[in-house]
Chain A
Amino acid sequence: MKPLDPRTILRDSVLEIRGDGKAGGGLVLAFQSLASLALTDPTLHVQEWPFFSSARRGANIRSFVRISARPIRIACEVTRPSMVLLMDEGAANSVDFAQGVPAGGTFVFNSRHTPEQIAQHFHLSGRVFTIAGDDIGTRHLKASIGNVSAYVAMAQAIGGFEAKAVIDTFLATLKKRRIPELILQRNREALEASLAEVRTGTFECARPGDHEMPPFAGYGDLPVGAQTALRLSQSNKTAFYARSGVRLTFADPDGKCNGCSHCITNCPEGIILWEPDEKIGVRVTGAQVSTYCKLCNECISVCPFDLFTEKPFEEKWAEAEVSS
């Protein structure tokens, strides 16, 4: 496998980049800034656009960028990107972020994991860049948002941009949104910190068939009312919309539940678990957090005994345990 150089691709044809993240996570800003950064070079042509879900905050969204030294006419979505960004590991629960990337492509991650761990876990062959953007965001922006760092990592993965241009372009994009000076300064600090914290490596972990694009299988049966196979309400586990890194927990070791049922009636997803109880009528036993819980916190706010709480949650990666 020979790593594909993004600079060569954009010079000879079109560098296509795709990003996956969650609505509200800053993916679009990162891609808009990357497009503006490329446009600081007057010889380059750029297309940048998002693909929004019709769903709510936390739902998967995509962004696309094309960069080329020649005018770009093609207008369809990017399906064979030579570079991808995964802004939020939770987004990978719903889509194959690496689908269609050729061997030798570039993979950029907002993640605490090392490039090696990432390559092994997701079975990737190519250049892998990681940056713990959420941690940098927490440190400098007082919010667990990694788009600043993801943008820096993408710029480094493409190469050829001066650090000053990388910083100034992002800040210029923020200024267009009339962000206060204090926040701009904090973003500057996050950008500067990110420049030094990108980790990278080249790996060959993809197996035959990994991340290949499946052929379009049609729409299936088409009964009245658009109830096609594409309709997601039955299969889309919207618990993935919740913030990554935390999960709802229920604990009632002392049997405090008094059967008030506020959590049951207030849960918009109907995922509170309960059983009949002779004394109090209804006894709550937990919640189906892995299906539809989006951490709206309704149950937390209405429970008189604080039996529901948010707790840190991290998925265990088998590969991570064996890597150094």
Chain B
Amino acid sequence: MSTSEVTAHPRTTTPSGDKYEGVIDLEPVKRAHQPLYTERADVTADGNAAAALAVLQMWRCVVYAGFPITPSTKWIEMISAHVAAQAGCKKRVKLMEAEHAVADYLAASAASCRDLVFPTATSSVGLDHMYETVKSLGASGLGNVMIINVYRASANYPLCIEGDPSDTLGQRDSGFIQISCRGKQQIYDTVLQIPCVGMHHDVLTPTMPGFYGIKDSHRNARLVCEPDAAIHAFQDRWIKPCPLPGLINGDTAMGNCVTSRFFQGFKVGQKRRFEKVLDVLPQVGADFERTFGRPGISYFETAGWPETGNVDLAVVGMGPDFGTFEEIREGYAKTHGIKVAGLCIRLLSPFPREAVREKLRRARVVLVVNQAHHQGRGHLTLDVADALINLPSPPAVVSTFCGMGGADVSESTWEAMLDNGRRALAGDMPPPYQIFHEGAAL
């Protein structure tokens, strides 16, 4: 998009909350979009490619800022190659000198045009380098910022390049909407849907979809891509001209110090918008499913829950390794004569407490599987325990760790963790947490 194609109308005031509708004419931007697909297409893609294709197909994405960092590098590589190869393409790639500059660029560009979506992809150290600006962005009201995080162990010693969600889980309080994906199709579909949540007028909160490095970023499979026009129609149903954030007037400018009275009030507003995600997200997901015939974004995925009645053992996990649990679930349950079900958490922030409680209250024991380093019993464990705390007779919570640093989570590891849960069913509660690998408790 060249600047000459954007018609700017001069304004003399900048009242907070003004929608500025029509101030920037987006029609030329929309017209300049060159569709990738005019009809539904089957392609082979890995996770990075799926996320790249999704943003390339969105007319609202015209500038892609990025910095290469394993395992997310292919995202910006693929977008760059596409932009360079497509004659007359108006989209632009901005390769920045480091990740902190990417975050700064996102903040500035997203604030300059609230109705376009400004994405990047990063990972681990990259996300850590963005930390200061990410925290400001989380509070900014800029729902049009999307940081696609490819999970990798957070910057620590020793460095590890593989899928460990400690980077994303370390950003739980950044204020971003965090949603976890597994599999190419879910990654693609989520990147298409999540701006509809973040840019919703009740929410106005930046988004951080994420998926596991290597385990999903580099895993190829079949991907169904929707026609660009259908994607635009879907997104335009949800994304309306956004109001300006209440941040641009004098003493409330982003970065300036404010009084505690203002600060607390500001945070109340931020938290209320954040909680609205729990209302909006299922609506967007349901519309996506009606439109495209695939499951839309949701709080979590379920496996093995009966229509009614209780289960003995409920597993809570996230990411692609949950698929291995799904694969062995039925056989394990049959072998041991117990009912086993599972929740694969997708919405990490805000955590869907009520929905999780309603599901898990039907379990006798809850086995939580954490895959990121944590100072205590595990990020997911704390959220699950919090969700269950007000139940009159809450299920016992068994906490485990596995797959840290992207370590393989084999069938035997799942079986060992399930055995731990089964012992708790018999009243033999294990230690506060245990770490498992290759079928052994370490």
Q: Interface residues, chain A, CB within 8 Å of chain B?
A: 32, 35-36, 39, 42, 45-52, 54, 72-77, 79, 178, 215-216, 218-219, 226
Residues of chain B contacted by A215 (CB below 8 angstroms): 438-439
Residue of B nearest to A169 (CB): B44
Question: With A76-B408, A79-B410, A216-B438 in contact, is A54–B161 under 8 Å at CB?
Answer: yes
Residue of A nearest to B406 (CB): A51
A-B contact count (CB 8 A): 77
- B81 touching A76 by the CB < 8 A rule? no
- B220 touching A48 by the CB < 8 A rule? yes
- Of A45, A74, A77, A219, the residue contacting B221 (CB under 8 A) is A45
- B161 touching A226 by the CB < 8 A rule? no
Residues of chain B contacted by A39 (CB below 8 angstroms): 42, 44, 222
- A75 touching B215 by the CB < 8 A rule? yes
Residues of chain B contacted by A36 (CB below 8 angstroms): 44, 220
Q: Please tell me if B250 contacts chain A, counting CB pairs below 8 Å.
A: no
A-contact 0/1 string along B327-339, CB 8 Å cutoff: 1000000000000
Question: With A52-B161, A216-B438, A226-B158 in contact, is A74–B324 under 8 Å at CB?
Answer: yes
Chain B interface size, as a band, is: 20 to 34
User: How far apart are A245's CB and chain B's nearest CB, in angstroms?
Assistant: 29
A-contact 0/1 string along B157-177, CB 8 Å cutoff: 110110000000000000000
User: How far apart are A23's CB and chain B's nearest CB, in angstroms?
Assistant: 13
User: How far apart are A147's CB and chain B's nearest CB, in angstroms?
Assistant: 16
Q: Please tell me if B218 contacts chain A, counting CB pairs below 8 Å.
A: yes
Q: Report the bound CA distance from A5 to B81 in whole Å.
A: 41
Given contacts A77-B408, A178-B81, list 9 more A-B pairs with CB under 8 A. Answer: A35-B44, A46-B221, A49-B46, A49-B219, A54-B161, A72-B221, A73-B323, A74-B324, A219-B442
Q: Report the bound CA distance from A49 to B162 in whole Å.
A: 13
- Of A42, A47, A51, the residue contacting B220 (CB under 8 A) is A47
Residues of chain A contacted by B326 (CB below 8 angstroms): 73
User: How far apart are B369's CB and chain A's nearest CB, in angstroms?
Assistant: 13
- A216 touching B323 by the CB < 8 A rule? no
Residue of B nearest to A225 (CB): B157
- A216 touching B440 by the CB < 8 A rule? yes
Q: Report the bound CA distance from A39 to B215 in whole Å.
A: 19
Q: Interface residues, chain B, CB within 8 Å of chain A?
A: 42, 44, 46, 81, 85, 157-158, 160-161, 182, 214-215, 218-222, 320-324, 326-327, 408-411, 413, 437-440, 442
- B324 touching A75 by the CB < 8 A rule? yes
Residues of chain B contacted by A226 (CB below 8 angstroms): 157-158
Residue of A nearest to B439 (CB): A216
- Of A42, A54, A75, the residue contacting B320 (CB under 8 A) is A75
Q: Report the bound CA distance from A50 to B220 in whole Å.
A: 10
- A76 touching B221 by the CB < 8 A rule? no
Residues of chain B contacted by A51 (CB below 8 angstroms): 214
Q: Which 9 A-B pairs have the closest CB atoms?
A: A216-B438, A49-B219, A73-B323, A75-B320, A48-B220, A75-B323, A74-B327, A77-B408, A73-B326
User: How far apart are A37's CB and chain B's nearest CB, in angstroms?
Assistant: 10
Residue of B nearest to A226 (CB): B158
Residues of chain A contacted by B411 (CB below 8 angstroms): 74, 76
- B219 touching A47 by the CB < 8 A rule? yes
- A77 touching B410 by the CB < 8 A rule? yes
Q: Report the bound CA distance from A178 to B438 in whole Å.
A: 41
19 pairs, CB–CB < 8 Å, chain A vs chain B: A35-B221, A39-B44, A42-B42, A45-B222, A46-B220, A46-B221, A47-B219, A49-B219, A50-B218, A51-B214, A54-B161, A73-B323, A73-B324, A73-B327, A75-B320, A76-B324, A76-B409, A76-B410, A218-B440
